[in-house]
Structure 1
Amino acid sequence: MTRTLYSLCGEDIARPFSPHCWKVVMALHHKGLDFEERRLAFTAIPSAENGVSKTVPILRDGSEVVADSFRIAAYLDEAYPEAPTLFGGEGGVAMARFVEAYSNTVLHPAIARIALLDIHALLGPEDKAYFRESREKRFGKTMEDVVARREEEIAAFPARFEPVRHLVKQQPYLGGENPLFADYIIFGALQWLRVCAGSIFMAKDDPVTLWFERCLDLYNGMARETA
């Protein structure tokens, strides 16, 4: 069976950067499933799978087409129960929902305030115009104004991970001895920052950095190849 994951890139297709797509890339490796990744520019997404979604990731698995990273993860656990679980049961799904909410409301806005212009720089001309218009509408200000206090945001960034830091001091992963989808949610956010801005802006000995390095080492270090 051929699986296709539609993900996001800029002008350089070797640098996929979407945090949501990285969650699914990690999830597919976690499940041990082969797949082909088709990396699309922002403005090419409507052409994927007859416009099933305005955003990526989109997964085609045989006759099934699933959009949204969390829905894809839930689908993978249901469709491939014999492969390693992404959630570890119903409680793990609830935990991952909480982690997703934390990431989307605390981490993603902070990363945007750090890396918005870095993301813009990765895009082709048509995508640059789309990205500026859509993000300035979303934030209600120019991109330059969004990142005006970038250095202050970088200084405050490590503190936003205190719940994660507290946990990974005690165990290797959010999921315990092994990663679960909750790990990939936070990993996706930091990989987004790493690819776009070149750093995660935390000390090398920070427990969060050490956890992130463990995640980068997963699956033969495939995530390290994108930089």
Structure 2
Amino acid sequence: MTITLYSLCGADVARPFSPHCWKVVMALHHKGLAFEERPLAFTVVPTVENGASKTVPVLRDGQELISDSFRIAQYLEEAYADAPSLFGGQGGIAASRLVEGYSQHVVHGAITRIALIDIHDMLDPVDQAYFRKSREERLGRSFEEMAAGRDAAIAALPAALQPLRHTLSFHPFVGGATPLFGDYILFGALQWLRITTGSIHLPPDDPVSRWFDRCLDLYQGVARAVA
């Protein structure tokens, strides 16, 4: 039975952009699993699978329905144990939780300050209204106030990525010699930035840029094909 991944898009279904969904896309390719991706608009997400989740990613695999990117990765690890490991053992799961925390509490905040207006402009009008209202309530500032700080946010991004840069000074991937789910967590964040703004806003010789290019080349360049 075909695996179905529900992901997030704007007006153009060919440009799914959610960082959490990209983690799962890369994890599915890592496992060598065939799947169908169904990108959805923000306001459509709560209507699929009988309202199973208000957010994506959501994965349907036969009778199994799983939401949350980390839970999906753990499911794939257990259900497809004979395929390449996403974590390399229990220690890798624990380490990936640390990477997840760093990504969500540091990197995502930096990217939000850069990409907010770009994301809004990618959406259909009904989703633009939802996105503006929900994000202004969540962040406590107007879009216009946040847009005024965009240049400063771009300038601050390299410092926010220093922990990743430090890790990459020892090996080519967060997972070591080859990528693991920890790589896909951080890759998803920068892929989100790339698709929504057209750039990751780093010099090409930055170690993070070189790592990001290596990730874009994985699995026949599936992530690079979305721009």
Amino acid at match of 1:130: Y
Contact 1:3 1:59 in 2 (8 A): yes
CA positional deviation for 1:147: 2.5
SS of residue paired to 2:66: strand
Contact 1:139 1:146 in 2 (8 A): no
SS of residue paired to 1:202: coil
The number of aligned residues is 227
What is residue 211 of structure 1 aligned with on the other side? 211
Supply the RMSD in Å over aligned alpha carbons.
0.6
Are 2:167 and 1:167 aligned?
yes
2:56 and 2:32 mapped to 1: Cα distance? 21
Which 5+ residue runs of structure 1 have no aligned equivalent? none
Scaled by the length of structure 2, what TM-score is found?
A: 0.99
SS of residue paired to 2:37: strand
What is residue 100 of structure 1 aligned with on the other side? 100
Are 2:16 and 1:16 aligned?
yes
1:4 and 1:210 mapped to 2: Cα distance? 31
Amino acid at match of 2:93: V
CA positional deviation for 1:149: 1.2
CA positional deviation for 1:47: 1.2
2:145 and 2:121 mapped to 1: Cα distance? 16
SS of residue paired to 1:60: strand
1:58 and 1:23 mapped to 2: Cα distance? 12
SS of residue paired to 1:13: coil
Superposed structure 1 runs of 4+ greater than 4 Å apart:
none
Amino acid at match of 1:103: S
What is residue 41 of structure 2 aligned with on the other side? 41
What is residue 31 of structure 1 aligned with on the other side? 31
CA positional deviation for 1:28: 0.2
Identity %: 65
SS of residue paired to 1:135: helix
What is residue 183 of structure 1 aligned with on the other side? 183
Amino acid at match of 1:138: R
Scaled by the length of structure 1, what TM-score is found?
A: 0.99
Which 5+ residue runs of structure 2 have no aligned equivalent? none
1:124 and 1:89 mapped to 2: Cα distance? 42
What is residue 70 of structure 2 aligned with on the other side? 70
